[in-house]
Amino acid sequence: MPDFRSDTVTQPSVAMKERMFNAALGDDVFNDDPTTLELQRYAADMLGFEAALFAPSGTQTNLIAMMSHCQRGDEAIVGQQWHTYKWEGGGMAVLGSIQPQPLELQSDGTLLLSDIAAAIKPDDPHFARTRLIVIENTIGGKVLPLSYMRDVAALAKDKGLACHIDGARLMNAAVVLAPQHNTTPQQMVRWLCTGFDSVSLCLSKGLGCPVGSLLLGSANFIARAKRVRKMLGGGMRQTGILAAAGLYALENNINRLADDHANCQRLADGLAVLAAQLPALQGQLSVLPVQSNILFTDISLELAERLLPYLAECGIRLTSSNYQSTNGAIKRVRWVCHLQISSADIEQTLQHITDFAKLN
What per-residue confidence (pLDDT) applies to 328? 80
The answer to whether position 32 is within a domain reads yes
The answer to whether position 1 is within a domain reads no
Per-position pLDDT tens, the chain of length 360: 899 999 999 999 999 999 999 999 999 999 999 999 999 999 999 999 999 999 999 999 999 999 999 999 999 999 999 999 999 999 999 999 999 999 999 999 999 999 999 999 998 999 999 999 999 999 999 999 999 999 999 999 999 999 999 999 999 999 999 999 999 999 999 999 999 999 999 999 999 999 999 999 999 999 999 999 999 999 999 999 999 999 999 999 999 999 999 999 999 999 999 999 999 999 999 999 999 999 999 999 999 999 999 999 999 999 999 988 777 888 999 999 999 999 999 999 999 999 999 888
The answer to whether position 276 is within a domain reads yes
Q: Report d(CA 327, CA 107) in Å as an integer.
A: 17
Q: Is the pTM of this model over 0.85?
A: yes
What per-residue confidence (pLDDT) applies to 325? 77
Q: Indicate whether 237 and 286 sit together in one domain.
A: no
Q: Whole domain around residue 200: which residue ranges?
A: 14-253
- Cα angle 327, 261, 332 (rounded to 5 degrees) comes to 20
Q: Indicate whether 263 and 246 sit together in one domain.
A: no
Between helix 343-359 and helix 301-313 the angle, nearest 10°, is 120
Domain boundary among 226, 253, 280: 253
What per-residue confidence (pLDDT) applies to 275? 95
Strands laid side by side in the 285-287 sheet: 285-287, 294-300, 328-336, 319-325
Specify the CATH number for the domain of residue 20: 3.40.640.10
Domain boundary among 185, 220, 253: 253
What per-residue confidence (pLDDT) applies to 175? 98
The answer to whether position 131 is within a domain reads yes
Taking a C-beta distance cutoff of 8 angstroms, is the pair 292, 261 a contact? yes
Please give the tally of structural domains in the chain. Answer: 2
The answer to whether position 51 is within a domain reads yes
